[in-house]
């Protein structure tokens, strides 16, 4: 029998929640004019990288060894979470001054909806509820790089929510035996 310590699962969950909240806060200000300064954009991307690294180290420590169903679930959840961070990073580094004002307004509106969605995912994980969040971007404008990136992040958030539902995302007080 393999039992993951409560603290490991809770730590993984806490890091994921922190990262999703951080992402939501950063998305809310990324596509505003004049936009965050380059140093601030870099700091936001690095903070997200640190959260991903924290989750990765916890998952590697807990999921190393025998490939049991719970370790496969944890790895699957981590890869979905890593995809969110992977698609979010370039968005946080994007300089909105490269776009015209109308494109910035469209991107900002979508980014705000995605920020709300990331917050909703974080809160559902924190409350130990099943995450459920509908897609925000139906069809991205292929000529707009900001909207394409936001659509990729939207798909990654959808995948993370689906995998969290299917794998029983780490929740506080959760101990699973195999």
40 occurs within a structural domain: yes
**83 lies in some domain:** yes
pLDDT higher than threshold 90 for residue 157? yes
* Contact present, 110 and 9 (Cβ < 8 Å): no
Please give the pLDDT value at position 175. Answer: 44
Task: Indicate whether 37 belongs to any domain.
Answer: yes
148 domain residue, yes or no? yes
What pLDDT is attached to residue 88? Answer: 93
133 is a domain residue: yes
Inside any domain, residue 176:
no
Omega cis (within 30) before 97? no
More confident residue, 61 or 27: 27
Does some domain include residue 1? Answer: no
Structural domain that includes position 92: 6-167
For the full predicted model, state whether its pTM sits above 0.75.
yes
| Span 39-49, average pLDDT | 88
Does 66 score more than 70 pLDDT?
A: no
Q: How many domains does the chain have?
A: 1
Percent of the chain whose pLDDT exceeds 70? 80
| Cα gap 92→88, rounded to integer Å | 6
Question: Does residue 62 have a pLDDT over 90?
Answer: no
Shortest CA distance to 96 belongs to which of 145, 142, 48? 145
Task: Return the bridge partners of 3, or none.
Answer: 177
Is residue 133 predicted with pLDDT exceeding 80? no
Residue 178 lies in a domain: no
Q: Quick check: 114 pLDDT over 90?
A: yes
169 pLDDT more than 90: no
Nearest to 150 by CA among 101, 99, 106: 106
């Amino acid at each position: 029998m393999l039992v993951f310590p409560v603290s490991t699962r809770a730590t993984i969950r806490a890091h994921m929640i922190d990262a999703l909240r951080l992402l939501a806060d950063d998305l809310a200000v990324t596509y505003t004019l004049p936009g965050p300064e380059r140093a601030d954009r870099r700091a936001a991307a690095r903070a997200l990288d640190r959260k991903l690294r924290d989750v990765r180290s916890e998952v590697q420590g807990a999921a190393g060894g025998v490939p049991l169903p719970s370790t496969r679930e944890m790895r699957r959840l981590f890869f979905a979470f890593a995809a969110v961070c992977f698609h979010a990073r370039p968005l946080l580094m994007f300089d909105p001054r490269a776009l015209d004002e109308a494109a910035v307004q469209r991107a900002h509106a979508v980014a705000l909806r995605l920020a709300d969605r990331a917050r909703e995912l974080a809160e559902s994980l924190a409350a130990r509820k099943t995450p459920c969040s509908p897609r925000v971007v139906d069809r991205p404008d292929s000529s707009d790089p900001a909207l394409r990136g936001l659509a990729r992040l939207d798909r990654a958030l959808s995948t993370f929510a689906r995998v969290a539902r299917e794998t029983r995302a780490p929740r506080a007080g959760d101990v699973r035996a195999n």
